[in-house]
Structure 1
Amino acid sequence: MAPTTTRTPLTPRTPVTAVTAVIAAKDEAARIVSTISAVRGIDGVDLVVVVDDGSSDGTAALAGGAGAIVVVHPRNRGKAAAMATGAQAVADLDLREPAVSGRPRDLLFVDADLGASALNLAVLTGPVASGRADMTIAVLPPQATSGGGHGFVVRLARKGIERLTGLTPAQPLSGMRCLSRGAFEAALPLARGWGVEVGLTIDVLGAGLRVLEVPCDLQHRVSGSDWRGQFHRARQYRDVWLALAVRRLRPMARGLRAPLRGLRRLVRIRGRN
C-alpha cells in the first residue's frame, strides 16, 4: 500500500511532550537572534540548540546570548553533520535533564534564516506530539524573493522519493521538520550534506512510519543566480543524487547478505572438519 500524505492546513495544538528546536547555522549573525526568539515562543519548545557550523561571524555568541545551548564545529562540516550534532546534544540532555513528560524530546529542525516567521513552525509539533505523525514537513508558500534555480534539484529529489516510496512530496528539499526521536533514529546514519532531507523522507517512510506535509507560512533567504548560487545548487544536486543512489542500492546489498552469511557458515564448518 502506497504511503499517504496530507496537505490540509493544521492548527497548533498544545504538545503532550517536550520539543527541542535544533538550528544549524553558518554565518547567520544577522538573523539568528530573531529566529531563536521566534521558536522559543512555540508551545512545547523547552530548549533551543544551535549548532554553529564553522561560522566566521558572531553567530555563536549571539545565539548564546539569546538563550540557546550552543555547540560549535570549529570548521564547516555541512548541514547533515550539524543536524546530527544537534540531535546528539539533545539526547545527552535527555539523559541529564529529562523532560517533564518522561519521553525523549521531539526534534524540531529549523533553518537559521527564518527570523520571526519561525514562530509559524508551531503547526509541525502538534501532530508528532499527539502521535498523528512520526515526522512532519513544512510546505512553504511562494517566497518574497524568487530564487535563481531551474528546479533540477527539486525534480531529481521528488522523482527519486516517488520511485523509492510511492510518495510524491510537494517540497522534497524542505528542511523544516519535526520528528519523534524514534523517527530520527530510523534515518541514521543521515545522508550526507544537502541530501539529508531526501534521506530522512525515504528512511522514515521505509521504516513504516507516518509522514505528514503541513502548509507553513515561512519566509527565508533563497539562493541567487550568481556563481555562488549556482555552486550551491551543484553541491545540492550531487548530495541528493548520492542519497538516492545509496538508498536504491540498499535492497541489493541486503539480498547479497544472506548468501554471504551462508558462505561464511560453510567455510567455518569445513574449517572444523
Structure 2
Amino acid sequence: MTADTAVVIAAKDEAERIGPTVTAALALPGVDLVVVVDDGSYDKTGKVARAAGARVVRHSRNRGKAAAMESGAEAVRLLDGDTPRHLLFLDADLGASAETAAALVEPVRAGKADLAIAMFANRVKLGGHGIVVRVARDGIRRATGFTATQPLNGQRCITRAAFEAARPLAHGFGVETGMTIDLLRKGYRVREV
C-alpha cells in the first residue's frame, strides 16, 4: 500500500498516553508520518512522542487545538513531496484504540469523501457536553442541511485540498463544527464513518 497519509496529533500534557497512540498510528495502513504538536505541555509529552517515532513540533505556550492542528498540517506540508498527503487528525489519548482510525482513511483514499469523521460505536454519557453536541449538530444542520451524528468528534481524515479550504480554522471549541460547516458550504463531501 502506498503511503499517502500523515497523522497529526495535538497534545498537551499527555506523556502517559501519547506513546501508545503514536505506536498505533504508525501501524495504520498508508501512514508513513506521525506529527505530534506539543501544545505547551509541562510534562514530557514531546519526548515520549519522539521516542515512539513521531516528529514533534513544540508550541512554547498553549495556543489551542486549532493552532496545533494548523502547525501539524504545516509540518506535514513541509515534508511532503510532489503529492500532498491526506491528514488524519487523532486525539492524543486514544492509545492502542487509534488503530480503529483506519476506517477513516479508506473513504478519503478511495475518493469517496473529502472529510471522514469518526462515529463512536458506544455512546458515552456526556453530561453537560450533550447540550453542546446538540447545539453543534443543530448549527451544522441549519447552516448546511447536513445532520451530523457526532459533530464534535476530533478523529477525522481530510484531503489536503479540503484542509486548505477550511482554513483558517475556528478557534476554541468550534474547530470541528467550523471545519464541517465551511467544507459543506464549499461543496466538499463530508461523510461520517
The TM tier, using the shorter chain, reads: over 0.9
How much is the aligned-residue C-alpha RMSD, in angstroms? 1.3
By how many angstroms is 1:149 displaced? 2.3
Gaps of 5+ in 2: none
- Aligned partner of 2:117 in structure 1 is 137
2:155 counterpart letter in structure 1: M
Name the CA shift for 1:132/1:152 in 2 (closer, same or farther; >3 Å).
same
8 Å CA contact 2:133–2:151 kept in 1: the answer is yes
TM-score, scaled relative to structure 2: 0.96
Greater strand fraction, Structure 1 or Structure 2: 2
The answer to whether structure 1 residue 65 and structure 2 residue 51 are counterparts is yes
Of residues 123, 143, 167 in structure 2, which corresponds to 1:164?
Answer: 143
What is the total number of aligned residue pairs between the two structures?
A: 193
Q: Residue 165 of structure 2 aligns with which residue?
A: 186
Instruction: Give structure 1 stretches of 5+ with no counterpart.
Output: 1-13, 215-273
Q: Which amino acid aligns with 1:40?
A: L
Q: Is 1:17–1:106's contact at 8 Å kept on the other side of the alignment?
A: no
Q: Distance in 2 between matches of 1:201 and 1:124?
A: 15
Q: d(CA) in 1 for partners of 2:179 and 2:151?
A: 10
Inter-partner Cα distance in structure 1 for 2:145 and 2:126: 28
Specify the code of the residue in structure 2 equivalent to 1:104: P
Q: Is the 8 A contact 1:17 1:103 kept in 2?
A: no
**Are 1:120 and 2:106 counterparts?**
no
After the TM superposition, which segments of 4 or more aligned residues of structure 1 sit over 4 Å from their partners? none
1:197 to 176, 183, 188: 176
Larger Rg computed on CA atoms:
1
2:89 aligned counterpart, secondary structure: strand
User: What's the offset of the Cα at 1:150?
Assistant: 5.1
Matching residue of 2:10: 24
Summarize the alignment of residues 16-55 of structure 1 with structure 2, pairs less than 5 Å apart.
18-55=4-41
